[in-house]
Structure 1
Amino acid sequence: MRRAVLLAVLFLLSLTTPVRAETFDGTELRVENGVFRDEHGREVVLRGFNVSGTAKLAEYRGLPFATTQDARTSAQAMKRLTGANAVRFLLTWAWIEPQRNQIDRTYLDNVTTQLRQFTDEGIRVYLDFHQDLYSRHLFNKDSWYTGDGAPAWAASGYPKESCGICVHWGQNMKNNNAVTAATYDFWHNRNGVQDSFVNAAGEALKHVKNALPANEFKLVVGVDPLNEPYAGKYDAGQTSQTWERDLLMPFYQRFRGEMDEAGWAGKPAFVEPLVFWNQNVDFFAEPGGLTLAQPLGDRFVFNAHFYDGKAQSGILMPGKAGDGQYTQAFNTIRDRAKALNTTAIVSEFGHPVSGFTSDKTPSVLKAIYQGLDSTASGARWWSAPRGSAISGSQWHWDTNYGRHRELMNDNPGKVKTDGDAMNDEHFSAVKLDANNTPVLNVDRALVDRVYPQAVAGTTLAFTYEDRAYQTWQQIPLPNVRALVGNAPFAVLVWDAHESAAPTEIHLPESLRSPLVISSAQSAVQGDELLLTSGPGRQFALVTAPSNGNVAAAEAEIRQWYVSW
């Protein structure tokens, strides 16, 4: 009894231990031995959102926000509501180079100004040169669909576009002759179109670097050279895998060289495999994942996307997502990154927040985050818990959601105001309420999550049970189970290394005053749990305050974590 009381007192004292967060600002990231590491050698997990769907529209001339103030409000809301530490920030070739060989410096100034609203909040950024269906300029004014990406001058001379009977805009990648022909020409550099893109991207990277103070450029993690690449159509005898090897990877290597010349040599390229490799709809998926590529190494990141096409169909997956539903898919992403000798990030994932399949959204998001966090299902985690969390950026963050005024394909008769205003999508996790205050479109528990922001060592295992939608984690340790009860909880096990900075765990709103059982010294500062220790294997259990037997739970979890 005395030991339990003493432990409880020590835990309460640890919560008030002052630690200055600014002392541990390890901003510069690198890829090392299959993980991101900061200047203090800590393993870093990036979590956040894509900013933003508005960048795909003409409404604000390819910018994520109408004004700098809108960008600032959005960045502050993202930090406050979700604890995000990174964003994928979209920019578009059409607005960078609207006329051939003429770079729009005003657009790049505006991009950089809006980007800085996120770095001002301490949020890391990685740029994404975005495209969907090659270009909006391929589509006629009465089309059901639209695209984004290439400027008008790089999208001329193609046949009248038509997808035929297509139930999803993505089918244009296979069925629309204008889209497939233009995409094919890009990869074969017809009329030097790929040359122009790479040159324009290099000019954009130079501009951003020169416009950012050095301390803010440190917060820029890297670059996604091109969103969701696909062939358009294959050459005779070519397969999806040989296309990746013979056309996609040379493009990435070329882009990598452009990054180096632009002053980005110390930052990785976030390279995506063939987009169809990311699909889980059997008739749409194709082999890929850069399986025929040489190992990428530390100057690249394996960058996957994940959407459950079956769940979005409403037919192929009639029910809700369940425990461990996406574990295998995310472990495949982990395995591909390991085989390529680098780390992984899932730079897009999500599910519609409105529409006829939005009843699945809580379960799908919970299952996706479970796959990012852990290598095992909730039912199996305690017996097979090994593996680090994967970085990821949810699609997407658009405070203009439901308030757009987009002239679809420049047609004044087709003004899009609903949802994302892009191909009838509804993915934004945020919107503005009647008072113009950012509010979430999804349960906060799903997106404001415990995650290991920086681990002073190597993560051995991590899990988080958010209690959103339903409970999937099954705790086999009776005293730990009694202590936690029905509260959210997280467990981190790591091999601690010598470091001048602590392990940092983000605490969601539901756990800002947590009960912490840990082999390390713990302190709470705002929305962060700071853990300091000497070298060796460490553990931390984070949950809500409890009347349970702390000493018994600690003894039980200590025995568990040294036994596997």
Structure 2
Amino acid sequence: MRAFFVALLLLVVGLVVPVQPAVAAPTDSRGREIVLRGFNVSGSTKLYENGLLPFRSTADAATAAVQMRNLTGANAIRFLISWEGVQPARDRIDTAYLDRAADQIRQFTGRGIRVLIDYHQDLYSSHLFHRGSWYTGDGAPKWVIDAGDYPTESCGICVLWGQNMLTNNAVRSAAYDFWRNRYGVQDAYLAQARAMLTHLRSRVDHSMVLGIDPFNEPFDGGLDGASGTTWEATWMMPFYQRFRAVMDATGWSDRPVYAEPLVFWNTTFGEAGGLSTIAPLGSRYVFNSHYYDGARITLDPTPAADGTYSAAMNRIRDRAAALDTTAFVSEFGNAMDSSRTPWMIRAMYQGLDSRLSGATFWNDAARSGPVLSATQWQWDVYSGQHRELMNGNPDKVQTEGDAWNGEDHSVIANGALRLDPRVLDRLYPSAVAGRTVAFAYEDLARDGFAGSGRQQAWLTVPSRLPAIAGLTTGRQYGVLVWREPPAALGAPTELHLPASFPSGRTAVVSDLGTRSGLTTTGPIAVGTEVGATTARRLLLDATGSAPGSTHVALVVNTSDVAAIPAATLTAARTELLAWAATL
């Protein structure tokens, strides 16, 4: 998750990105287009105090799954595992470790939360670092490092963790050897991956596993004079193809490889990689990108605002489309120690929701594009309560934040969200019976610490739509336009309904009808999220509509009033249907 730390080391370049056609989104068992939203669980996998797993017990995993589902409506996680955890010795696969991982995964899948399994590494291995080092890593086991005879690690004059990827010869040499399979290290990695996949295949709900991320944030270790894209084609894609073959041989042929580009891609400053010179990937791979704002983390003092991250998220959309596959943003976020964080994350979610800024959405919604699936970094239930010996050093006990290289990214601590809940508990279309044409959401989240700062609307309704503007001004709201397929799916469209939208005081304006207050029956209804106790979903049932029909729904939090007059809803509906017809 440290891609942004290379920012100061690279030159600023100007980028012009052509708009690419969208490709089909992933679907559920009923044929509905799905959007996945959730969190990484978790950086605790990097810690020895946690046994190299996200949770110390199955019970803690269960508690986290319930909290996440109820507090944010999350329906997906990226579940971190460690090569060192799977294979602590050359001749041993730790099946007990894998069983604990499977137990933890089941706590999420059993509550309707899909899982992306992620082989995590940072700077290749903690065993490259000495006890007094300023930094540490995670990933490869000690026996791998012992086989390499690497130089003593030193980052030099380093103020940023990620500089190790460019200046630490031990880290660079180890990565260089991995990609070139020196000492048979890549063969060994694939052999343990085969064992892991075989062991987990019957121990988890296969239908709820999204796929496998074979290598978190790949970095080259040395380009040998080649470009990043040439390096990806020469060394990284062959590795992904080998991993694909292992998945096929172990019963995972129907699940994609979540392939990440070079870590230096889309980092605000500079450019390396991006899988732009390889053949289209197709459905057996997913273009799996991270995004952190390298500029605001390093040099840029300005706050995020409406449309700040549209270009960055659209680059991910467009790269996936050019590769003829879907996109997934498996990491994004910011440290919790900045008063700018709420709006940075808010703007990242806005970029995930739509290609467009809030100021342009209502006038150009036909270009809204696909809603991106994503998992935020991170959800650490032990935030601020760790006791990790950094590099095994009892004189360097890490207790604060994430207990790893001074990071503090967890959105939860002591069972409570650390940001304005409106940033994280969002309206989003979790399952669409057809194809999403346009979606946008106004969360009205405040910036500043603990939601103490300003509130500002970004999704502004133009004056030519006065009835819609009158209904939405000063309120949280979202709008979804979708088109049915030629053959009816027989399933409703679903949106996660945030806790800030009371069922009795949520207004819905749609071609399916209007509601001021939701009930559990009818074409516009409310229900509980699968596996949740309090989280709810909005159900929009278009049964009986003509094949290929276009539908629209405006969902408004009207908790400031007892009810919305029927005439107000009727006027807004007239405007809304006329607007949707132009798309």
TM-score, scaled relative to structure 1: 0.90
> What code does the residue aligned with 1:429 have?
V
> Is residue 223 from structure 1 mapped to residue 209 from structure 2 by the alignment?
no
> Is residue 159 from structure 1 mapped to residue 151 from structure 2 by the alignment?
yes
Distance, in Å, in 2 between the alignment partners of 1:61 and 1:165 is: 32
**Does the Cα contact within 8 Å between 2:481 and 2:551 map onto a contact in 1?**
yes
Residue 349 of structure 2 is matched in structure 1 by 369
> What code does the residue aligned with 2:445 have?
A
Residue 529 of structure 1 is matched in structure 2 by 538
Distance, in Å, in 2 between the alignment partners of 1:278 and 1:57 is: 28
Unaligned runs of 5+ in 1: 1-31, 433-437
Distance, in Å, in 1 between the alignment partners of 2:287 and 2:180 is: 24
Cα offsets for 1:74-125 (capped at 9, x unmatched) = 1110001000000000000011111113101111011111111111211100
Distance, in Å, in 2 between the alignment partners of 1:331 and 1:241 is: 19
Residue 442 of structure 1 is matched in structure 2 by 419
Cα deviation for residue 512 of structure 1 reads 3.6
Residue 563 of structure 1 is matched in structure 2 by 582
Residue 42 of structure 1 is matched in structure 2 by 32
**Does the Cα contact within 8 Å between 2:124 and 2:174 map onto a contact in 1?**
yes
Residue 121 of structure 2 is matched in structure 1 by 131
Distance, in Å, in 2 between the alignment partners of 1:423 and 1:553 is: 52
Distance, in Å, in 2 between the alignment partners of 1:211 and 1:319 is: 48
Residue 192 of structure 2 is matched in structure 1 by 200
> What code does the residue aligned with 1:428 have?
S
Cα deviation for residue 249 of structure 1 reads 0.6
> What code does the residue aligned with 2:273 have?
G
Cα offsets for 1:510-554 (capped at 9, x unmatched) = 114221111233111131011111231110000123536111111
> What code does the residue aligned with 1:36 have?
P
Distance, in Å, in 2 between the alignment partners of 1:491 and 1:158 is: 56
Cα deviation for residue 346 of structure 1 reads 0.3
Instruction: Find the residue that maps to 1:338 and give its secondary structure.
Output: helix
Distance, in Å, in 2 between the alignment partners of 1:519 and 1:199 is: 55
**Does the Cα contact within 8 Å between 2:479 and 2:553 map onto a contact in 1?**
yes
Instruction: Find the residue that maps to 1:383 and give its secondary structure.
Output: helix
Cα deviation for residue 233 of structure 1 reads 0.9
Cα deviation for residue 208 of structure 1 reads 1.1
> What code does the residue aligned with 1:300 have?
Y
TM-aligned CA distance change 1:258 to 1:512, over 3 Å = farther
Q: Paired residue for 1:290, among 261, 275, 282?
A: 275
> What code does the residue aligned with 1:481 have?
A
> Is residue 327 from structure 1 mapped to residue 315 from structure 2 by the alignment?
no
Cα offsets for 1:230-252 (capped at 9, x unmatched) = 101112x3110100111111111
Instruction: Find the residue that maps to 1:464 and give its secondary structure.
Output: strand
Distance, in Å, in 2 between the alignment partners of 1:242 and 1:371 is: 29
Cα deviation for residue 38 of structure 1 reads 1.1
Residue 554 of structure 1 is matched in structure 2 by 573
Cα deviation for residue 60 of structure 1 reads 1.5
Q: Paired residue for 2:459, among 473, 478, 503?
A: 473
Cα deviation for residue 361 of structure 1 reads 0.3
Instruction: Find the residue that maps to 1:88 and give its secondary structure.
Output: strand
> Is residue 510 from structure 1 mapped to residue 500 from structure 2 by the alignment?
yes
Q: Paired residue for 1:84, among 74, 79, 87?
A: 74
Cα deviation for residue 393 of structure 1 reads 0.2
**Does the Cα contact within 8 Å between 1:402 and 1:418 map onto a contact in 2?**
yes
> What code does the residue aligned with 1:292 have?
T
TM-aligned CA distance change 1:512 to 1:496, over 3 Å = farther
> Is residue 431 from structure 1 mapped to residue 413 from structure 2 by the alignment?
yes
Residue 21 of structure 1 is matched in structure 2 by none
Q: Paired residue for 1:410, among 392, 409, 434?
A: 392
Cα offsets for 1:19-71 (capped at 9, x unmatched) = xxxxxxxxxxxxx9531111111100010000011001111110111111111
Instruction: Find the residue that maps to 1:325 and give its secondary structure.
Output: coil
Residue 252 of structure 1 is matched in structure 2 by 240
Unaligned runs of 5+ in 2: 1-21, 447-455, 513-522, 529-535
> Is residue 396 from structure 1 mapped to residue 378 from structure 2 by the alignment?
yes
**Does the Cα contact within 8 Å between 1:311 and 1:360 map onto a contact in 2?**
no
**Does the Cα contact within 8 Å between 2:266 and 2:312 map onto a contact in 1?**
no
Distance, in Å, in 2 between the alignment partners of 1:122 and 1:418 is: 32
Sequence identity percentage: 51
> Is residue 188 from structure 1 mapped to residue 180 from structure 2 by the alignment?
yes
**Does the Cα contact within 8 Å between 2:123 and 2:138 map onto a contact in 1?**
yes
**Does the Cα contact within 8 Å between 1:419 and 1:425 map onto a contact in 2?**
yes
Report matched runs for 1:256-295 at 5 Å: 256-280=244-268, 282=269, 285-295=270-280
Distance, in Å, in 2 between the alignment partners of 1:125 and 1:193 is: 27
Distance, in Å, in 1 between the alignment partners of 2:310 and 2:412 is: 27
Distance, in Å, in 2 between the alignment partners of 1:361 and 1:132 is: 23
Cα deviation for residue 286 of structure 1 reads 2.3
Instruction: Find the residue that maps to 1:193 and give its secondary structure.
Output: helix
Residue 239 of structure 1 is matched in structure 2 by 227
Instruction: Find the residue that maps to 2:40 and give its secondary structure.
Output: strand
**Does the Cα contact within 8 Å between 1:324 and 1:376 map onto a contact in 2?**
yes
Distance, in Å, in 2 between the alignment partners of 1:33 and 1:471 is: 31
Q: Paired residue for 1:541, among 536, 544, 554?
A: 554
Cα deviation for residue 209 of structure 1 reads 1.0
**Does the Cα contact within 8 Å between 2:383 and 2:410 map onto a contact in 1?**
yes
Cα deviation for residue 287 of structure 1 reads 3.0
Cα deviation for residue 453 of structure 1 reads 0.3
> What code does the residue aligned with 2:345 have?
L
**Does the Cα contact within 8 Å between 2:303 and 2:343 map onto a contact in 1?**
yes
> Is residue 141 from structure 1 mapped to residue 131 from structure 2 by the alignment?
yes
Distance, in Å, in 1 between the alignment partners of 2:419 and 2:91 is: 43
Residue 478 of structure 2 is matched in structure 1 by 490
Distance, in Å, in 1 between the alignment partners of 2:324 and 2:289 is: 15
> What code does the residue aligned with 2:459 have?
Q
